[in-house]
Amino acid sequence: MSQIEVKRRLLSENDEAAQFLRDRFRESGTLVVNLISSPGSGKTSLLESTIAAMAGTYRLAAVEGDIATERDADRLRRHGIPARQIITGGACHLDARQVRGELEKGDWGDPEILFIENVGNLVCPTSYDLGEDFKVVLLSVTEGDDKPFKYPGIFSRAAVAVITKVDLLPHVEFDMEAVRAQVETLSPDARFLLTSVRTGEGVEEWCGLLAERLREKRKH
C-alpha cells in the first residue's frame, strides 16, 4: 500500500469518527471549537481568559493536545472546568478517534462549549476534521506578519483568525493591515479579532462571538 493510499485510509477513518462526534454534538447542542496555531501563540492563555469571562454563565470543557506533558490541561483544571490531555507522543496533530476516546472515558458535565486545543502546528492539524463547528487560527504578533500566505491551508479553512499579544505591537515589527488583507484574500468571510490577555483587549468580543455561535447552533 502506497503512502498516498495509507493517508487516504487514515483520513477516511478520521472522517467517520468526526461524523460520529458531529452527530453527538448536534444532539447535545454543544458548540465545538478547534483552536490551531504555532506553539506559544497563546491558545491556552486565551482559554484561561475565556473561562474567567464565561464559566459563570456557560458550562465549558476542553480537550488539550500536546506531544508531551499535561501542563495545559492542568492550567485549565485550576480554573474549575473539565479538561482532558491527549498526549500524542510525537504526532503533530489530534485526530477524531482520539477525541472520541477521551469523550467516552467519563462524565464531562454536559458542556455547552467544548474547546479542542490542537497540537501546536500550523500544518498537520489542518486536514483533520475533529467534528468541530469551526476552526480558529491564532497568530501572535511576535511570529511575523507573513504567516497567512505562508500557511494558506489553515488560514483559508478557519472561520475566525485571532491575532494575539497585541499589547506587544509597540515592540515588534508587525504590519496588521497586511495580515488582515492576507486573511481576507484567503477567507473573505472569516472574523478577524485582535486580542491581548494581559490588557483584556478583544476578550469580550471573542466571548461574544462564542455566545453568538452557540445561540445560532441551538436554533437549528
109-138 pLDDT, tens digit per residue, is 899 999 999 999 999 999 999 999 999 999
* pLDDT tens-digit series, residues 46-69: 999 999 999 999 999 999 999 999
SS3 content of the chain, % helix, strand, coil (to 5): 45, 20, 35
pTM value is 0.94
Question: What topology does CATH give the domain 3-219?
Answer: Rossmann fold (3.40.50)
β-sheet with 160-164: strand ranges across:
83-87, 60-66, 113-117, 31-37, 134-140, 160-164, 191-194
Phi, psi of 31 (to 5 degrees): -80, 130
* pLDDT tens-digit series, residues 91-115: 999 999 999 999 998 778 899 999 9
Q: What does the DSSP assignment read for 160-191? A: EEEEE-GGGGGGS---HHHHHHHHHHH-TT-E
Angle CA 181–186–191, to nearest 5: 70
Rounded Cα distance, 152 and 52, in Å: 32
Angle CA 177–180–183, to nearest 5: 150
Position of cell 509597540?
A: 170
The DSSP symbol for 29 reads: T
* pLDDT tens-digit series, residues 147-191: 999 999 999 999 999 999 999 999 999 999 999 999 999 999 999
Phi, psi of 129 (to 5 degrees): -75, 130
